[in-house]
Amino acid sequence: MNLNSLYTHSLKPFRGSFALEGVAAEVHASRNALRLNDDAATFISFAGFCAVCMTTAALLFVFGGYEAGFHTINSLARYLSEDFLQITTFMGDTAVALCLMLFFARRNPSLLFIILLAAIYGTLVTHGMKAYFDMLRPPAVLNSDDFVQIGQAFKRASFPSGHSATVFIMVSCLYYFATQISTKIMLLTFGAWVAISRVLVGAHWPVDILVGSGVGVMATAIAIYSAKRWSWGFSVRVHFFVLSLLIAAAIMLFSHSGGYPNVSLFAKLCATASLTFFVADYFFSPYVPKGSGTTSHRPPSQLAKS
């Protein structure tokens, strides 16, 4: 058996799967659907959110200083479980956010291109600002007895919060495609809670998380605008390239805790669930073209025999 026939034979069980049959068609369809979206209402919501975040951050800084509001929020951590806070704040880690996108990759392929662009924009802005301002974090300024500090004591590059930017990139991307008001409210609530957890664990000041959250939403808005005008992002190669990044992020979680040791089990469960879902969704779930009017419950290996 030559290499070509061996390769063909190895793919036989997956014939009829989304990975082999549906990616090109769905990526193309998602591009057309994205172009037809009316973004006015969403962009107004995004602009309003950014305005509220930036205005609140400015008011806190002007009237209370850079540390304004920290002790009020941070003191609430004494009433919450440390494990819960570590897991919550870990949800803003880039690896976790990318890993979770595997659950949505097949349902909306255009999401992958948008998340890629938003991640690039958000990273450039947050890391650029961190390097430029190099503000000190709470552990570098306050006495350890004066506040609650959970996890690794990071001391520099406080402004803005990268975790807040990351979680709101993820949240705003999903918000853009959500159709139910209740879903949008839950997404915003989740994002706000993860951002606030950065103050609860003593890693950031309130000004940091407000600006970081605004940057995340702003990065997503620009990413959507870019994606609607750049056709190169809607190809099978780009789709699988972004998928490879998401898979790498999931694999990374088996040995990554982001400075929060109590999240190890959660990270592994998250990685295992997302990778299992991805494999099942792309290789073992039969692909039925939209509008075909039929749905098959047979695995791809059986479809290949028919």
pLDDT one-digit tens code per residue, 98-128: 999 999 998 889 999 999 999 999 999 999 9
**Predicted structure pTM score:** 0.89
Which tokens in the block code for residue 10?
Answer: 């190895």
**DSSP structure string for 14-49:** GTTBIIIIIHHHHHHHHHHHHHH---HHHHHHHHHH
Question: Would you say 15 and 300 are in contact if contact means Cβ atoms under 8 Å apart?
Answer: yes
Domains of the chain: 39-282 (1.20.144)
Whole-number Å distance between alpha carbons of 95 and 146: 31
At 288, the pLDDT band (50, 70, 90 cuts) reads: low
23-37, 48-62, 225-239, 263-277: lowest mean pLDDT where?
23-37
Residue with tokens 């009316």: 38
pLDDT at residue 5 above 90? no
At 281, the pLDDT band (50, 70, 90 cuts) reads: confident
Residue with tokens 């299992």: 276
At 24, the pLDDT band (50, 70, 90 cuts) reads: confident
Arithmetic mean of pLDDT, 235-258: 95
CB-neighbour burial class of residue 43 (10 A; exposed 0-12, middle 13-18, buried 19+): middle
pLDDT at residue 19 above 70? no
pLDDT at residue 208 above 60? yes
At 238, is the secondary structure helix, strand, or coil? helix
pLDDT tens per residue, range 144-170: 999 999 999 999 999 999 999 999 999
pLDDT at residue 295 above 70? no
At 284, the pLDDT band (50, 70, 90 cuts) reads: confident
Which tokens in the block code for residue 206?
Answer: 């309130």
At 305, the pLDDT band (50, 70, 90 cuts) reads: very low
The Cα angle at residue 39 between residues 209 and 223, in degrees rounded to 5? 50
Question: Would you say 194 and 91 are in contact if contact means Cβ atoms under 8 Å apart?
Answer: yes
Question: Would you say 150 and 201 are in contact if contact means Cβ atoms under 8 Å apart?
Answer: yes
Quote the pLDDT of residue 6. 41
At 306, the pLDDT band (50, 70, 90 cuts) reads: very low
Query: Which residues contact residue 162 at a Cβ distance below 8 angstroms, ignoring those fewer than 6 apart?
Result: 92, 94, 126, 127, 130, 212
Quote the pLDDT of residue 286. 67
Query: Which residues contact residue 27 at a Cβ distance below 8 angstroms, ignoring those fewer than 6 apart?
Result: 109, 110, 234, 235, 236, 239
pLDDT at residue 266 above 60? yes
Which tokens in the block code for residue 52?
Answer: 């509220």
First to last CA, the chain: 24
